[in-house]
Chain A
Amino acid sequence: MVREILGLLLKDVKTEWRNKQAISSIALYLFSIILVLYYALVRIDRMIWSGVLWLVLIFLAINTITVSFSRDVKHRHWYFYTLTHPLSVYFSKAVYNLILLLVLDTLAILLLGLFFNIPVVDWPLFLITMFLCTSAISLILTFVSLISAKTGDQPVLMTILSTPLLFPVLMSGSRLCLVSLRLIQDSNYFKDVLSILAINMITFALTVFLFPILWRD
């Protein structure tokens, strides 16, 4: 099964590398958002930098995963998926989304640093937070996108379903971000890291159980 996951993953990465369709469109969205922010805000204070970053991250996440799944033309790719175990479909998509989101997140942070500054004080905590939150977001949103692909009414469902499910990640993640900016002094921040890790593991376990049931057509 691991070979199937790697095979599907490589297929996705190769198609992406060849025409760079998804990543370039989302990067364009990202760039235009940062530009609008620059014109509107001119200067971002330390106080709101974390909020701006999280808004951009949520926007990126929802758009990326919507685009990356709707690109699959129904007939061609569905044939591949019927040959493989449902979980390998899910995990290849989740890892692919994770890589995509990580690249776009780094791009977002760099662009924010270009136009405004990056007031991060505690880099290790910040990087760990970003990685854990991105993986949690990718796991949850891939699951939701696969549910909504079944119903056929994809974009609406994606946005509506994903927003409440992302709240726990958002709360802990934004709190950790504020701590790494030294805006709040929270000596007990490890609890937040543990809670995001727990969300990752719970989602992982749930999808291992639930996804094959969902996928049988």
Chain B
Amino acid sequence: MVKLSWWKWIFILLMPYVILMGFLVPLGQGITELSPYVVYPLKTNKLDIVGYNTRFTEGQSIRAWLKQGDYHIEADNIIVRDERHASLIFTIPGFPDTSKNDGDLSLVMDTPDGPLVLPSAVNLAAVKYPDSLALISSQKWSTNKLAVRAESNFNFPFRNILGETIRNTYFHVPLWFAMILLFFISVLKSIRYLQKKQIEDDAKAESFVLIGVLFGILGTVTGSIWAKFTWGSFWSFDVKQNMAAISLLIYGGYFIIRNSLQDPDAKARVSGVYNVFAFVLLIPLIFIIPRRYDSLHPGNGGNPALGSQDLDNTMRIVFYPAVIAYMICGIWIAQLRYRIKLIYNNIY
């Protein structure tokens, strides 16, 4: 066997963990279909739901609420047909807050396996009703804490559009983290070359940029495959997709510069300067501009993607090791490349 550095062993141990956990942990409960979309006050509404990974038949204690803001109203009856199909009967006397008379209601269910939430599930139609009913309606909506049981199994969250593809988070997103790290290391090596003028630093910078671009291309391809199944098409001209493509083009210019210069010292100097220039331009491109525009990517149009909205605690257990594993993989491949490069420069 080959004697390896300690950090390469971390990669060897973490990657099977990420793959096995990423694929074998089941998904939590969710609702994939709900009809009809509109509920009317002063009427009996029957909502048919189709669940995912649900077990409606086990255990009789299933409850359901429709929620708007702090107010919620409980279902009168729940008819369970089989493990995944059920009907919920709601009679809604009026609106919780008489000043707002329309809006989306979320569906919250309490099952033996834990809570089940579908945000913006139905739309409450705006209907005029006499003021005498306002008193009755405010009594039926309550603001007590919802009594849901805790999640009993270890599973990944079910998000509506993503479904099972949420597992791709472990394989697509760490590619970008690794790419940023590789570009950062290459900038450090470039600056070191510009200060100390040792040709090894330039070889290191070039290999790290190359492997970073490789990871960037892989990230773009995996991202567009993921987009095809969730957003509908391979390239949606989403801001983050565009920015990723532009950064890859900018680093492509790095290789064009290197190819057009012959003298190794001039090559190293000019491409080192361009490397720093491109990296400093890259940071606002990838991090700041996408936050300014609304985007299809989860976590943009507002907060960064590592908030609690997008990354559940159960996912973090697999996500952070995946990021570390990909980073180490990138550094290992880049290190191998520049060692081979140095060998060829020595021989020829």
Contact = CB atoms under 8 A, between A and B. Distances in A.
Interface of A: 143, 147, 150-153, 157, 160-161, 163-165, 167-168, 171, 191, 195, 198-199, 202, 206, 210, 213-214
Contacts of A171: 289
B253 A168 contact: no
Given A147-B274, A151-B257, A213-B269, A164 B280 contact: no
B194 A213 contact: yes
A153 B260 contact: yes
B285 to A, nearest CB: 6
Contact of B253 (A152, A164, A214): A164
Given A168-B285, A171-B289, A195-B289, A210 B277 contact: yes
28 contacts: A147-B257, A150-B266, A151-B260, A151-B261, A151-B270, A152-B260, A157-B256, A157-B257, A161-B256, A161-B257, A164-B246, A164-B252, A165-B253, A165-B281, A167-B285, A168-B281, A168-B284, A171-B289, A195-B288, A195-B292, A202-B280, A202-B281, A202-B284, A210-B276, A213-B194, A213-B273, A214-B269, A214-B270
B256 A160 contact: yes
Contacts of B269: 213-214
B273 A147 contact: yes
Contacts of A161: 253, 256-257
Given A150-B266, A151-B270, A163 B249 contact: yes
Contacts of B261: 150-151
B324 interface: no
Sorted nearest first, the 10 A-B pairs with minimum C-beta distance are A164-B249, A164-B250, A161-B253, A151-B260, A210-B273, A167-B246, A214-B273, A153-B260, A164-B246, A151-B261
A210 B276 CA distance: 8
A19 to B, nearest CB: 31
Given A168-B289, A195-B289, A150 B270 contact: yes
Interface in B253-297: 253, 256-257, 260-261, 266, 269-270, 273-274, 276-277, 280-281, 284-285, 288-289, 292
Given A147-B270, A153-B260, A213-B269, A206 B280 contact: yes
Contacts of B266: 150
Given A151-B260, A164-B249, A195-B289, 7 more contacts: A147-B274, A157-B256, A164-B247, A164-B250, A168-B284, A195-B284, A213-B273
Interface residues of B, number: 25
Contacts of A191: 292
For A160, A163, A167, A198, the residue with the greatest tally of chain B CB atoms inside 10 Å of its CB is A167
A113 B295 CA distance: 36
Contacts of B289: 168, 171, 195
Contacts of A151: 257, 260-261, 270
Contacts of A206: 276-277, 280
A74 to B, nearest CB: 16
Contacts of B249: 163-164
A211 to B, nearest CB: 8
Contacts of A165: 250, 253, 281
B79 to A, nearest CB: 48
Contacts of A160: 253, 256
Contacts of B194: 213
A171 B285 CA distance: 11
Contacts of A195: 284, 288-289, 292
A150 B274 CA distance: 12
A198 B280 CA distance: 12
Contacts of A150: 261, 266, 270
A160 B284 CA distance: 21
Nearest to B253: A161
Contacts of B253: 160-161, 164-165
A132 B253 CA distance: 25
A198 B277 contact: no
A202 B281 CA distance: 8
Contacts of B274: 147
Nearest to B271: A147
Contacts of B260: 151-153, 157
A152 B269 CA distance: 15
B124 to A, nearest CB: 29
A101 to B, nearest CB: 20
A167 B245 CA distance: 11
Nearest to B195: A213
A31 to B, nearest CB: 31
